[in-house]
Amino acid sequence: MSANPVIENLSHHDPFSSWLGVKVISAEPGYSKITMPVREEMMNGFGIAHGGVTFSLADTAFGYASNGEGIITVALDTSISFSLPVYAGDLLTATARQLSNSRKTGVYLVEITNQHAQTVAIFKGTCYKTGKPHRTNTTGE
Amino acid sequence: MSANPVIENLSHHDPFSSWLGVKVISAEPGYSKITMPVREEMMNGFGIAHGGVTFSLADTAFGYASNGEGIITVALDTSISFSLPVYAGDLLTATARQLSNSRKTGVYLVEITNQHAQTVAIFKGTCYKTGKPHRTNTTGE
Amino acid sequence: MSANPVIENLSHHDPFSSWLGVKVISAEPGYSKITMPVREEMMNGFGIAHGGVTFSLADTAFGYASNGEGIITVALDTSISFSLPVYAGDLLTATARQLSNSRKTGVYLVEITNQHAQTVAIFKGTCYKTGKPHRTNTTGE
Amino acid sequence: MSANPVIENLSHHDPFSSWLGVKVISAEPGYSKITMPVREEMMNGFGIAHGGVTFSLADTAFGYASNGEGIITVALDTSISFSLPVYAGDLLTATARQLSNSRKTGVYLVEITNQHAQTVAIFKGTCYKTGKPHRTNTTGE
């Protein structure tokens, strides 16, 4: 469970990440680690996980790592390289870490592994800091 | 409706694209056009569509355009640039077209627009041709 | 020859593009077309043009297309897909065009072709508009 | 100085990397570290290093890390994020390491830092293994 109130609030109001089944293992400014079990309904027409599912997990980890400072930060540009196929029943882990940080932008690497510790995809993302603070609701959650 | 039997077969057995609500407008070798209505359950923690949803639509268009020749073709490397936020209620259109084609790989551009003809994201994808033929089931569908 | 004073000024004070041998065919806000003859000193250890040379041409076209409005605009994130090898003696043409344009950023596609009209590489770039105007020196050039 | 004969041979016959002034600090299968002093002739029209120069350094590190196994390996898809401007007089270091490795492809991360240990750019590259062996000339070099 994330101890960061910004990310805790974000992750509790994120319908698509909920559908994905994302579980936050750790989230702090510049870093996050999340997991997702891969389900049958995430498959594509080849019987392997749709690339969009793996991307979505990576993008979620990116968002949780880059928003931890309390400033609303949005994805500007991302790329993902697919290394190995993902199957229903796999448990994916995405680990995001900050590689650079300037006044308006940041660059993150997200490595996605399966339950055999094999790297299935690698994601690089550039975010833009809007400058607007998060409204965190830390009461009544 | 796609007249291409390979894509028709693919799209009928693609659980994640079905969840997305993808509708194939056109699909032929090197080109595809698909649409998706954006739903509340596709939102992220900021109340805008999760980047993974827009990526998934683009990646689906990429897959349909690059598999039309009947050879199983998989995404190797993709990048997406986000230009404008997407909201619940929007209707997105993704148009994929081939920019280059070599023996083993192809490069595609996918432009994603909303119902106001504004470009919300731009996707570039490189695919790898496995050399294995599709098994199309054109009977009993 | 470019008729745009901003680009004309930029291209006259660009030592690396001069070394590359870039010739501006056309440059206007949101669009540019430039050429470059490929020389022996641009080869890598395999006897084909170094990927950095092709990238540099594409990045120059991107810069000329995105700076034509008179606001200093810098590359933030770019990706390039290599389709065919480039050889000494080839004449490359890079054509850049704007795919999206928002208040702070823009996205451009650059297609690079050889003298046989074959696409050798495809580049996508996101730029950031600094908001600072260009200082153009239109006298005495 | 690289002790890897493949990379030593490659780097001795690489005209563009020679022009760049690349010095190999370390090169082994899956890893490389190289440096480059930034010169006036590498500047762009804004008086900062042309993005193509930084890319070229990163792409060289990528090539040296991915070719060390003795199989000719070519760049297929790469992306670079620019974090900080680079100036004439800077000394850049590019460190490449393998993030994934499959039968036909590999994915590498290259971090580029300046003499102040600041990250100026981050590069991700996917290479394709052609299957053809390098011809190394270890006599008479």
Give the pairing of strands A105-113 and A119-133. antiparallel
Chains that touch A (3 or more CB pairs under 8 A): B, C, D
Q: What gap in Å lies between CA A89 and CA A32, rounded to an integer?
A: 23
| CATH class name, domain D5-133 | alpha beta
Residue D40 at interface with chain C, using a CB cutoff of 8 Å = yes
Alpha-carbon Rg for chain A, nearest whole angstrom, is 15
CA-closest candidate to residue B58, choices B25, B74, B35: B35
- State which residue of chain D sits closest to B125, comparing Cα positions: D77
Q: How far is CA D66 from CA B4, D8, D24, D134, in A?
A: 39, 13, 14, 12
Asked if D74 contacts C82 with a C-beta cutoff of 8 angstroms, the reply is yes
Q: pLDDT for D72-89, tens place per residue?
A: 999 999 999 999 999 999
Q: pLDDT for D25-40, tens place per residue?
A: 999 999 999 999 999 9
Average pLDDT over residues D16-22: 97
Predicted local confidence at residue C136, as pLDDT: 61
Q: What gap in Å lies between CA A74 and CA C104, rounded to an integer?
A: 13
Predicted local confidence at residue A141, as pLDDT: 32
Average pLDDT over residues D41-47: 94
Predicted local confidence at residue C140, as pLDDT: 36
Examine the predicted complex and report whether its ipTM is higher than 0.85. yes
Average pLDDT over residues B39-50: 95
- State which residue of chain A sits closest to C126, comparing Cα positions: A77
Q: Determine the Cα angle at D123 with ends A120 and C45, to 5°.
A: 105
Question: Residue A83 above 70 pLDDT?
Answer: yes
pLDDT bracket for residue A140 (50, 70, 90):
very low
pLDDT bracket for residue D3 (50, 70, 90):
low
Q: What gap in Å lies between CA D110 and CA D95, rounded to an integer?
A: 5
Predicted local confidence at residue D139, as pLDDT: 43
Collapsing DSSP to helix, strand or coil, D115 comes out as: coil
Q: pLDDT for C14-51, tens place per residue?
A: 999 999 999 999 999 999 999 999 999 999 999 999 99
Predicted local confidence at residue C139, as pLDDT: 43
Residue D134 at interface with chain C, using a CB cutoff of 8 Å = no
Average pLDDT over residues C110-136: 94
Residue D136 at interface with chain B, using a CB cutoff of 8 Å = no
Q: Please report residues of C whose CB lies closer than 8 A to that of D79.
A: 77-80
Cα-based torsion angle of the residue sequence A124, B81, B68, B117 in order, rounded to the nearest 10 degrees: 160
Q: Please report residues of B whose CB lies closer than 8 A to that of C81.
A: 77, 100, 107, 124, 126
Predicted local confidence at residue D109, as pLDDT: 98
Question: Considering chain D, what percentage of its residues have pLDDT values greater than 70?
Answer: 94
From the list A43, A49, A79, the residue facing B79 with the nearest CB is A79
pLDDT bracket for residue A3 (50, 70, 90):
low
Q: Please report residues of C whose CB lies closer than 8 A to that of D5.
A: none
Q: Which of residues 72-91 of A touch D (CB under 8 A)?
A: 77, 79, 81, 83-84
Predicted local confidence at residue A31, as pLDDT: 97
Q: Please report residues of A whose CB lies closer than 8 A to that of C128.
A: 104-105
Question: Residue A136 above 70 pLDDT?
Answer: no
Beta strands in B1-141, from DSSP E residues, in sequence order: 23-28, 31-37, 71-82, 91-101, 105-113, 119-133
Question: Residue C95 above 90 pLDDT?
Answer: yes
Q: What gap in Å lies between CA C53 and CA C71, rounded to an integer?
A: 26
From the list B81, B122, B124, the residue facing C122 with the nearest CB is B124
Question: Residue D140 above 80 pLDDT?
Answer: no
Best to test chain C binding among B79, B82, B100 (most C CBs inside 10 Å): B100
Q: What gap in Å lies between CA C100 and CA B113, rounded to an integer?
A: 10
Residue B103 at interface with chain C, using a CB cutoff of 8 Å = no
**Averaged pLDDT score across all residues of chain B:** 92
Q: Please report residues of D whose CB lies closer than 8 A to that of B128.
A: 104-105
Predicted local confidence at residue A2, as pLDDT: 53
- State which residue of chain B sits closest to D80, comparing Cα positions: B79
Question: Residue B117 above 70 pLDDT?
Answer: yes
Q: pLDDT for A24-68, tens place per residue?
A: 999 999 999 999 999 999 999 999 999 999 999 999 999 999 998
Q: What gap in Å lies between CA A83 and CA C28, rounded to an integer?
A: 40
Predicted local confidence at residue D83, as pLDDT: 96
Alpha-carbon Rg for chain C, nearest whole angstrom, is 15
Predicted local confidence at residue A48, as pLDDT: 96
D77/B126 Cβ within 8 A: yes
Predicted local confidence at residue A38, as pLDDT: 98
C74/D77 Cβ within 8 A: no
Q: How far is CA C69 from CA C6, C30, C129, in A?
A: 8, 8, 10
Predicted local confidence at residue C37, as pLDDT: 98
Average pLDDT over residues B32-45: 97
